[in-house]
Structures are given as structure tokens and as C-alpha cells.
Amino acid sequence: MIADLGYIAIFLALATSVYSATAFVLGATRQQPALVQSARNGTYAVFGLVSIASFALLYALLARDFQLSYVASYTSRATSVVYTIAGFWAGNAGSLLLWSWLLALCGAIVLWQNRRKNQELIPYASLTILVTQALFLALMVFTANPFQKLPAIPADGQGLNPLLENPGMLFHPTTLLAGYAGFTIPFAFAVAALITRRLDHQWLATTRNWTLVFWLLLGIGNVLGMQWAYVELGWGGYWAWDPVENAGLMPWLTATAFLHSLMVQRRGGMLKVWNMSLIGATFFLAIFGTFITRSNILSSVHTFGESGQGPFFLFFITAGIILFTALVVSRLSDLRSEHQMESLLSREASFLLNNLVLVAATVVILLGTMLPLFSRILAGKEVTVGATFFNSVAGPILVVLVLLMGLCPLIGWYRTSPGKLLNNLLTPLYAALATAIVLLTLALVRVIPLKPYAVATFSICAFALTTVFLEWGRGTRARHRIHGENYFRAFISLIGKSRARYGGYFVHIGIVLIAMGIGASSAYSISEEFTLAPGGSMKVGQYTLRYEGLDQYPTPKQMVVSAGLSVTNGQRAAGHMEAKRYFKSNFNPVSEIGLRSGVSEDLYIILMGWDESGSAAFKVLVNPLVLWIWVGGGLMLGGTFIALWPTQRRNAEE
């Protein structure tokens, strides 16, 4: 019953999307407001219909309606309510529905927000959104129906894979999907601006916040994915350069580039074609990311398995890129720069450089990711690159980006005199030098191993951090002088008055912290494997681990085998840790690592296995500064919120 309702709703939503898209085009080109109004209503109706379908699936999941193949595959009677809800996006069909719903929601909000403005842009922006929406609805109608029924109703469902029963499952897929889906909005406005030749600042102003929100969601989605992989997959790392991980990173990189270069366009009317290309690239990379999660063209641990959806996506992406490129080319005369860059030593120029680096990083990652496919097509042989390739290429890029992050804010708009720049640079340079000296001294007295690459990374991080503090300090002192506020108040109101700029610096600090975490954990991580009999002990780094023995006990859901270890850090007792393995029927056993996360380092214990005598094998890692990656993610979140606030207010006041 509810299943039929859901399927019918998806089908009607597809029909309505196609109708509304057509009506928008006809209404706008033939100047028929009634038709446009009908299409607007249609867009709201699509949101309503997709919401009905989503509620139907949610209801079916919560009601344990095992007649639905999807419900039977991802939940069971034993699955908790929270993970039953998470079952919504555990599979291909459901995650498509979520994608579709998020897009429909954004489409409806866009219409509502612009009900009294941007009247010329809206028909074409909505058209773009609806066409994208139609792709996802068509995928569900023709290839992956979430409401597919089973011939017989099973007594119980298969349940969610225990690997997915992690808080990460609640937030990582949702934020990532929201990021993917959301990039449709800025893209849609770009298309609308191109079609209507209204290429002034209006569409940029309209999409800036949207871009920022989805850039944030995608970024957070990636960081949450790293965190999840770190605590759940049990290999001691957080980023494996898997194609699907790369797919989430690439649109984020191009969107980061766009967020910077749009400032250049808003200030000087430059880089218009470049910005159009970036927004197009971001959108198509997001669709591409959704695609490779659903296809077998690249081997990845994250894919859903083949679903026959390849042709749909490939057609959409190919046709979309051709149309969009043609559109940009046909509007080249409207996209001419209003100004020329005055000097190489200008904020504009440094942003352009940061853009080039970000885009180059994207290209490198894209080539590396697609290499197996390209080589299969071109040479008939599958050639692949692994983590070493990506690390050796992306590592330097990340360092260059952090360097630019320290440099750009010190360079003024339009032009800066070399003398003044040098003057600005002195303090950050001293900080970098001091960091290098401290690290080299530590290496000399053998406290840490000597890693030149890591020393360079940390010096550059110190450089970038000092720049931010310098900027904050300068602004605060100025307010203190002019308004007579005390320093604390001055700082708060500095950020409050110019939230985009000074709040944005929180994001920079976040990125620097992430870079430090990545740098430290890849350079100074210790990894050891050993076997211990009960009572035996082993030294890893400065920790001594004493294996107490195995414990085996059932819980309502599964069997647990747990190895207890007492830990001493140097001479100090540091308590008890457990590394476990869960056995759940229907699924492979799942490891749960023992993790002690600290400000300076994480102690990470994997239970590799055991035998009848009670001896157990462990893999133990000491990963420095990993905690700061997650803190950096939090700062990104906070900083973006601060940056988002003002424009909305100012818009409201205007």
C-alpha cells in the first residue's frame, strides 16, 4: 500500500518535473506569466511528491515492512530505530531518493526566496534544477526503485551491515549527499545568468551563500568520512585515496577555488569565464561523484555494486558538459573582464594562483582516479596508481596551499608595493623560522626523528597561522584605538562587523590544523605488530602495553570477543583499553579498535586475531596530532557559520 503510494509519487514527480521544466522554458521564451506560474507550482509539487515518497520509505523502514526488498535488505527487527532511519541511505535506491529530496527541497527554497526577485533568472535556474531532478527520479523509476517488492515476505530483514552501525553513518552520507545535491543551485543560477545574459553581480550575490553552505556540507561530509574510516575500518588511517573518497574531494577543491575567485569577480568584474568554468566543474564533479559510487567502472570499497545506471549518468554528464560549454562560448562577449589586473603583487593575482593550484590538484586527482579506466580504454590494460602516488602529489600541493593561505591575506587588493609586503611578511617568516629551529633542535637531541618534509610543513603552517593572528591583531588594535573598546570586545566586534573576512580566517585556521594533523600523522606515525600471550607486554613508542587476556561475552545483538590491555605511558599508568571483534549472524566479523585520543597523539589498537591458548595478535599505532584534524573540521564549521551570518542580515536590511 504505502509502497505503491511511494512509487506513484516518484513517478508523478518525474512527470511533474518534466512538465514544469518544459513550462518554464515555454513560459519564459513566449512571455507567458501564467505558464511560468504553473511551472512554479509544479516545482513545489515536485518537492511535495518527493517528500511523500521519502515519508513512505521512512514509514516502511520504521514499520519493518519487509515486503519491500529495500527494507528487508537494510533493516531487521533487531536494528535500532536510529539505524533503521539510517537505512534510508544505506543502499543505492534510498540514497538516490535522499539526493532527490534534498534537491527538491533546495529547489523549493530557491523559488520561495526569490518569489519577488530575480524574476528573469528563476525560470532558467529552476529549469536546470528540474532537469537534474528528472535524472534522479528517472534513475529510481527505471533502474533502482526503492519500493521494489519481494515475491514473498521474509520473516525478518537482513539488517544493516555492522560496519555501517556507527554515528558516522548518520551524518557522513547525509552531509556529503547534501553537498553533492546542493551544488546544483549555484550551477543553476550560472546557467540562468548565461541564458538571460544577466551576467552582472546579481546571480553571484544570490548564489554566494548557497555555495558556501554546500561547500561547508561537502567539507564536513569529507571530514566525517575520514573520522569514520579512522575509527571503524581499522587500518589506522583516515584517507585511502579510494576513488569514492576522491570523488568527494574534487568538487570541494573546485568549490574552494570558486569561493575565492568569486571575490575577485565581485570586486573587479574579472575572471568571469573562469568562474563559470569552476562552477560547471564543481557541478559535474558532484554528479560524477554520485555516479562512481553507483558503478563498477572503478574499484572502490564504497560502491553500491552495479545498477545499470552508468548510461544515464554518462549521457547526463556528457550532454550537460557539451551544452554548458556551448553556452559559455556563445556568451563570451558578455563575459569579458571589466578590468585588467593591475599588478602581480595583488590579492587578485594571488587568488588566481591559489585557484590554479586548486584546479591543478583536482586535475591530478581526477587523472589518478580515472587512470585505470583511461588505460583500459586506450591501452586495453588496467594501470593504476595507489596512495603513494596521491600522497606524493597531493602532499606538496597541500603545503603550497597553506603557504598561499599565509601569503594572500597580506597582499592588498589591486596592488601592493614589494616593500610593504616584505614588511608584512616579516613576523610570519620569523614564526616559520622559529618553528623550523625548534623542530630541528628536537630532531638533533633525538626527541623526534628528523623529517625535512615535515619540518617544512610545520614551518609553513606556523607561517599561515601567524598571518591570521596578525590580521586579527591589527584589526583589533585599530578598533581599540578608534572606538576605545577593550581588546576582547574589540576582537569580538571586529569579527562581528566583518564576518566574512575575519570569520573566514577561522576556516583558514581549521585548514592549517588539518594540514598539521595530516603532516604529523603521516611523518611521525609509529606502527607495530606483535603477538602476546596473556600477561605478556610490549613497548610501542613510549607506551607499554600489557595484555590481560581475552574475554568473550554475548550482547543482545552479537557475540563480542574483547582483548583487554593495561597501558602505561612512560612510568605513568594510563588505564585499561580494549580491542574487540563483534560477531553478528549474516555478516562478517567486525573489528572495533581500541582508541585513546589525545592532544598530542592517539594510541590505536587493532585486535588482529587470537588462538585457543589465549594468545592474541595486535597491531598498534601511535598517530600524532590526529585529534587536530577533527578540531580543524570543527573550526571550518564554526568559521563558515560566522561568515554566512552577515550577508543574510545585510540582505534582510536592504
Partner 1 sequence: MQVRKSYLIGGVLVAVAFGTLLLNGLKNMSSYYYEIGELNSSQLTVSEFKVRAATIGDREVTVIGRVTDSPIAHDEGAQLTRLSITDGRQDLTISYTGNTPGALRAGIEAAFRGRQSPGGTFGATWLTTSPKEVKVRGMVADAPITWDVNSRQTRFTITGYYTVSALREWQTSIGDREVRVIGNVVNRPVTWDPGKTQTTFAVTDGRQELSVAYQNAIPDSIRAGAEVVLVGKSRSDGTLEMTGLTTRAEQELVVVYNGSVPDIFDVGVEVVIDGKKGADGIFRASLLTTKCASKYTPPSTQRVQ
* Shortest distance in whole angstroms from residue 236 CB to partner 1: 9
Determine how many CB atoms are found less than 10 A away from the CB of residue 77.
11
* Shortest distance in whole angstroms from residue 237 CB to partner 1: 12
Give the residue, chosen from 48, 269, 549, 589, that forms a contact with partner 1 under the rule CB under 8 A.
589
**Pairwise CA distance, residues 462 & 167, whole Å:** 33
Give the residue, chosen from 32, 296, 441, 486, that forms a contact with partner 1 under the rule CB under 8 A.
296
**Pairwise CA distance, residues 631 & 485, whole Å:** 30
Does residue 363 belong to the site contacting partner 1 (CB under 8 A)?
Answer: yes
Of 86-94, 465-473, 495-503, 539-547, the segment contacting partner 1 by CB under 8 A is 86-94
**Pairwise CA distance, residues 338 & 280, whole Å:** 22
**Pairwise CA distance, residues 296 & 305, whole Å:** 6
Does residue 465 belong to the site contacting partner 1 (CB under 8 A)?
Answer: no
Binding string, residues 211-250; x marks residues near partner 1 by CB under 8 A: ----------------------xxx---------------
Does residue 193 belong to the site contacting partner 1 (CB under 8 A)?
Answer: no
Does residue 549 belong to the site contacting partner 1 (CB under 8 A)?
Answer: no
DSSP 502-552: IIHHHHHHHHHHHHHHHHHHHHS-EEEEEEE-TT-EEEETTEEEEEEEEEE
Cβ-based nearer residue to partner 1, 82 or 301: 301
Give the residue, chosen from 383, 426, 437, 444, that forms a contact with partner 1 under the rule CB under 8 A.
383
Cβ-based nearer residue to partner 1, 95 or 126: 95
Of 282-290, 383-391, 448-456, 463-471, the segment contacting partner 1 by CB under 8 A is 383-391
Determine how many CB atoms are found less than 10 A away from the CB of residue 367.
12
Any idea what the Cα angle at residue 344 is, between residues 338 and 348, rounded to 5°?
Answer: 50
Does residue 588 belong to the site contacting partner 1 (CB under 8 A)?
Answer: yes
Amino acid symbol at 62: L
Give the residue, chosen from 44, 55, 389, 645, that forms a contact with partner 1 under the rule CB under 8 A.
389
Cβ-based nearer residue to partner 1, 305 or 556: 305
Between residue 517 and residue 536, which ones bind partner 1 under the rule CB under 8 A?
529, 531
Sequence-ordered list of residues with C-beta below 8 angstroms from that of 236, at least 6 positions apart, any chain? 525, 527, 604, 606, 619, 621, 623
Q: CB–CB of 102/182 below 8 Å?
A: yes
Does residue 153 belong to the site contacting partner 1 (CB under 8 A)?
Answer: no
Give residue 148's Cα distance to chain centre.
31
Give the residue, chosen from 2, 138, 163, 370, that forms a contact with partner 1 under the rule CB under 8 A.
163
Give the residue, chosen from 67, 73, 84, 118, that forms a contact with partner 1 under the rule CB under 8 A.
73
Cβ-based nearer residue to partner 1, 237 or 428: 237
Interface with partner 1 (CB under 8 A), residue total 69
Between residue 484 and residue 513, which ones bind partner 1 under the rule CB under 8 A?
none
The three-class DSSP label of residue 460 is helix
DSSP 199-222: -SSHHHHHHHHHHHHHHHHHHHHH
DSSP 8-state assignment for residue 183: T
| DSSP H or E run through 610 | strand 601-610
Does residue 304 belong to the site contacting partner 1 (CB under 8 A)?
Answer: yes
Cβ-based nearer residue to partner 1, 209 or 355: 355
Q: Give the burial class of 19: count Cβ atoms within 10 A of its Cβ; 0-12 exposed, 13-18 middle, 19 or more buried.
A: middle
Does residue 351 belong to the site contacting partner 1 (CB under 8 A)?
Answer: no
Cβ-based nearer residue to partner 1, 76 or 467: 76
**Pairwise CA distance, residues 455 & 524, whole Å:** 11
Cβ-based nearer residue to partner 1, 217 or 349: 349
How large is the angle between the packed helices 202-228 and 184-196, nearest 10 degrees? Answer: 160
* Shortest distance in whole angstroms from residue 48 CB to partner 1: 29
Amino acid symbol at 619: K
The three-class DSSP label of residue 624 is strand
User: Minimal CA–CA distance to 563: which of 632, 500, 614, 498?
Assistant: 614
Q: CB–CB of 548/566 below 8 Å?
A: yes
**Pairwise CA distance, residues 135 & 251, whole Å:** 19
Give the residue, chosen from 6, 27, 91, 225, that forms a contact with partner 1 under the rule CB under 8 A.
91
* Shortest distance in whole angstroms from residue 589 CB to partner 1: 6
* Shortest distance in whole angstroms from residue 615 CB to partner 1: 5
* Shortest distance in whole angstroms from residue 588 CB to partner 1: 5
Cβ-based nearer residue to partner 1, 415 or 596: 415
Determine how many CB atoms are found less than 10 A away from the CB of residue 481.
10
Does residue 550 belong to the site contacting partner 1 (CB under 8 A)?
Answer: no
The contact set with partner 1 (CB under 8 A) reads 69, 73, 90-92, 158-159, 161, 163, 233-235, 296, 299-306, 308, 340-344, 349, 352-353, 356-357, 360, 363-364, 367-368, 371-372, 381-386, 388-389, 392-393, 396, 529, 531, 583, 585-591, 606, 608-611, 615-617, 619
